[in-house]
Amino acid sequence: MHLCRLINATTKNSKLKLFTNLIFLFFFLLCASGLAQTVIEGKVTDADSGDPIPFASVYFLGTTKGVATDFDGFYKIIGDAETDTLVVSYIGYETKKKVYEKGISQTINYQLAPESTSLGDFVVTAGKVENPAWDIIRSVVDNKPQNDKRRLAAYEYDSYNKIEIDLDNISDRLRKRKIMQKITAVLDSIETIAGEDGKPILPLFISESLSKYYYRSDPRLSKEHVQRTKITGIGIEDGSLISQVIGSTFQQYNFYQNRMNIVEREFASPISDGWRLIYDYELTDSVYIGEEFCYLIDFKPKNDQELAFIGKMWIAKDGFALKQIDATVQRTANLNFIEKIKLQQELERLEGGAWLPTKTRVLVDVAEITNKSAGFLAKFYTSNQNLKVAEPRDVSFFERAIEIDEDARMENDAFWEANRHDKLTPTEMNVINMIDTLKNIPVVKTWTAIAKTFARGYVEVNQLDLGPWPFLIGNNDVEGWRVRVGGRTNENFSLNWQFNGYLAYGFDDEQYKYGLGAKWIADRKDWTVFDVSYRKDIDQYGIQPDALTNIESGQAFLALTQLGDLVRPFRYESYQFGAFRQLSRAFSASLRLNHKEFQPEFAFRYRTDLNRTDSPLAQDYATSEVTLNLKYARDEAFIISDNNRISLGTTRWPIFSASFTRGFKGLTGGDFDYTRVNFGVSQKLKLGFWGNTTYQLNAGHTFEDLPYTLLNAHIGNEQIVYTNIAFNTMSFYEFVSQSYASLRYEHNFEGFILNRIPLLRKLKWRLVGTSNVLFGGVSQSTLAVQALTDEGGNALPQFDVLESGRPFAEVGIGVENIFKFFRVDYIRRLTYLEKPGVDNSAIKLSFRLGL
Neighbours of 451 (CB within 10 A): 12
In this structure, what is the dihedral angle of CA atoms 705, 706, 707, 708, given to the nearest 10 degrees?
Answer: -80
Cα 567 from Cα 602, distance rounded (Å) = 9
Report the predicted TM-score, pTM, of the whole model to 2 decimal places.
Answer: 0.81
CB burial readout 176-190, b (16+ within 10 A) else e:
eeeebeebeebeeeb
Say what the pLDDT of residue 698 is.
95
How far CA 221 is from CA of 79, 153, 403, 687, 790, in Å, comes to 51, 11, 14, 22, 60
CB 223 within 8 A of CB 623: no
Q: Are 434 and 264 in contact (CB under 8 A)?
A: no
- pLDDT score recorded for residue 98: 93
- 3-class SS of residue 186: helix
Q: What is the pLDDT of residue 304?
A: 86
**What does each C-alpha distance from 249 to 382, 487, 664 come to in angstroms?**
11, 34, 47
Three-state SS at 414: helix
**Three-state DSSP state, 735:** strand
Give the H or E element holding residue 132: helix 132-142
Query: Rounded CA gap, 751 and 408, in Å?
Result: 43
Strand, helix or coil for residue 244 = helix
Tell the burial category of 270 from Cβ atoms under 10 Å away from its Cβ (0-12, 13-18, 19+). buried
616-652 pLDDT per residue, tens: 999 999 999 999 999 999 888 888 878 888 888 888 8
Q: Could you give the 3-state DSSP secondary structure of residue 464? A: strand
Residues of the chain with pLDDT under 50: 1-13, 15-16, 24-34, 126, 545-553
Q: SS3 of 400, please?
A: coil
Residue 536 host element (H or E):
strand 528-540
* Residue 121 CA: distances (Å) to CA of 84, 281, 298, 520: 33, 10, 11, 64
Residues 502 and 515 sit within 8 Å (Cβ to Cβ): yes
What confidence tens digit (pLDDT) does each residue in 686-714 have? Answer: 887 788 999 999 999 999 999 999 999 89
